[in-house]
Amino acid sequence: MKYKEIFKRVRAASQKLLQIEDTRLHEVLDHLADAVIRETTFILEENRKDLERMDPAHPKYDRLLLTAERLEGIAADIRNVATLPSPVGHIVSETIRPNGMKLTKITVPFGVIGIIYEARPNVSLDVFSLCLKSGNACILKGGSDAEYSNLAIVSVIHQVLRKKGIDPAIVELLPVEREATQALLHAEGYVDLIIPRGSSNLIQYVRQNASIPVIETGAGICHTYFDKDGDIEKGAAIIRNAKTRRVSVCNALDCLIIHTDRIQDLPALCRELIQSKVIIYADAPAMKALEGNYPQKWLKPSTPASYGTEWMDYILSVKTVKDIEEAIGHISEYSSRHSECIITENEENAELFRKIVDAACVYTNVSTAFTDGAQFGLGAEIGISTQKLHARGPMALEELTSYKWLIEGDGQIRNK
């Protein structure tokens, strides 16, 4: 089977990668950043071929588009990743057992990581640099829309690797056909981990079909709960920021939950949404409070479908609750466990919220817009995990490693 040959090649190359020092990886990434700039004309020409096949009005067009400026940004990101500390070889724990054997738990690369993504060709470079820095080989499966762009990018990477004497098989781009995805999802023994990057449909598909471990990234159905003891000024600022900073990101606010005792403050909390023409889907008490205080044309009654939706748009649903328990219950039912926020000056309620709300990021009086690797100070980000296994929330280099146990001794055997 043709894919198996590719998988074998990458697996073999991943082993050789284990012997390459971080200083050399740093150098390779710097050279790659140079090469991306040097080969700008070539990459943009190939990108043009992909763009020509797509309607410029299509939302994917902008994601597919590369420009000299974007390539400069990508090159800068590669240089930044190069300078980060290596996540490999950290000693997690070290003990001497009573029989004298030494036990060391040490971080190691996963080995081979498969990445499945859609129209964004920049992902090829982002992902490769994060994988290389963490000692991992990678198998890329990009979308067919970006075929020429990805081929060009991977050929630039291969060229740099060859020049630096590193087996180019540490990164391979799979052909665009669908069977390649299937093969990757079942590459047991060759691929250690799959990370899908893209729409929730893609992520859903990968999760349902992969027989090797997957890290689920993506969908954020995010709530902010304005508590009985919430501060109006903080609340209004956070709600505006979380909803309107960028509506197409996963940490954007989808549903405002408000304590019924504070329903008269709802107009003040929503006032700053007017300038962004945010459409509000309000339940009956919220509707009553907003009528006359919010433009009627952007005010609609909520339906059950208004909750549990990731809007990705200038839309906000509002839910009124009688107490914090009902707020937490609503979140538990509709959240995608990405980012959840409470606005309160009541420390007891804040503590309860932090303890019970099950999400990667639980905020107290801070906008959910901060759920991001760079904002968390992680230096880079390969995605935001919404599962609980291995990594949760923003994932950076450290999350691209596993560990192994080293046991050293002088002939110890086990008696019983």
Q: Which is nearer to its own copies, 159 or 365 (CB)?
A: 365
Please list the alpha-helical segments (H only) found in 271-308: 284-290
Q: Look at residues 398, 369, 381, 335 and name the one whose alpha carbon lies nearest to residue 217.
A: 381
Based on the shown chain and the rule CB under 8 A, indicate whether residue 101 belongs to the binding site for its own copies.
yes
Burial (Cβ within 10 Å: 0-12, 13-18, ≥19) of residue 208: exposed
Q: Build a one-symbol-per-residue string for 293-332: x at contacts with its own copies by CB under 8 A, - elsewhere.
A: ---------------------------------------x
Comparing C-alpha atoms, which of 293, 300, 234 is closest to residue 266? Answer: 293
Among 221, 266, 269, 362, the residue binding its own copies under the rule CB under 8 A is 362
C-beta of 264 vs 415, nearer to its own copies? 415
Q: Is 200 in the site for its own copies (CB under 8 A)?
A: no
Other CB atoms within a 10 A radius of the CB of residue 399 amount to 23
Name the segment binding its own copies (CB under 8 A); options: 42-50, 95-103, 158-166, 285-293: 95-103
Q: Which part of the chain contacts its own copies (CB under 8 A), choosing from 67-75, 263-271, 276-284, 386-394?
A: 386-394
83 binds its own copies (CB under 8 A): no
259 DSSP β-pair partners: 321
Dist. CA 203–CA 310, nearest whole Å: 15
- Binding-site string for its own copies from residue 10 to residue 49, where x marks contact by CB under 8 A and - marks none: -x---x--xx------------------------------
Residue 201 within binding range of its own copies, rule CB under 8 A? no
Closest CA to 401 of 192, 110, 113, 171: 110
Letter string b/e over residues 130-140, b meaning 16 or more CB atoms within 10 A of that residue's CB: bbbbbbbbbbb
Q: Quick one: which segment of 52-60, 64-72, 237-245, 288-296 binds its own copies (CB under 8 A)?
A: 237-245
Which 245-264 positions form the footprint of its own copies (CB under 8 A)? Answer: 245
Stretch that binds its own copies, among 175-183, 227-235, 252-260, 289-297 (CB under 8 A): 227-235
The least distance separating its own copies from the CB of residue 110, rounded to whole angstroms, comes to 5
- Rounded Cα gap, residues 278 and 157, in angstroms: 44
By the rule CB under 8 A, 103 interacts with its own copies = yes
Number of residues binding to its own copies, judged by CB under 8 A = 68
Nearest-approach distance from CB 415 to its own copies, in angstroms: 8
User: Encoding tokens for residue 180?
Assistant: 């390649």
Q: Are strands 91-96 and 137-141 parallel, antiparallel or unpaired?
A: unpaired
> What letter would DSSP give residue 44?
H
Token pair, residue 394, equals 């923003």
Could you say whether residue 367 binds its own copies (CB under 8 A)? yes
Q: Which residues contact 292 (CB under 8 A, 6 or more apart)?
A: none
Query: Which of 233, 291, 313, 348: binder of its own copies (CB under 8 A)?
Result: 233
User: Between the CA of residue 380 and those of 67, 153, 249, 374, what are the distances in Å?
Assistant: 22, 20, 17, 6
Q: 369 by DSSP, 3-state: which?
A: helix
Report the residue from 6, 131, 215, 299 that binds its own copies according to the rule CB under 8 A: 215
Contact 339, 363 (CB under 8 A): yes
Task: Pick from 72, 231, 265, 310 the residue near its own copies by CB under 8 A.
Answer: 231
Separation of alpha carbons 375 and 386, rounded Å = 17
Q: Contact residues for its own copies (CB under 8 A)?
A: 11, 15, 18-19, 95, 97, 101, 103, 108, 110-111, 192-193, 207-208, 211, 213-215, 231, 233-234, 237-238, 240-242, 245, 332, 350, 354-356, 358-367, 369-370, 375-377, 387-390, 392-394, 402-414
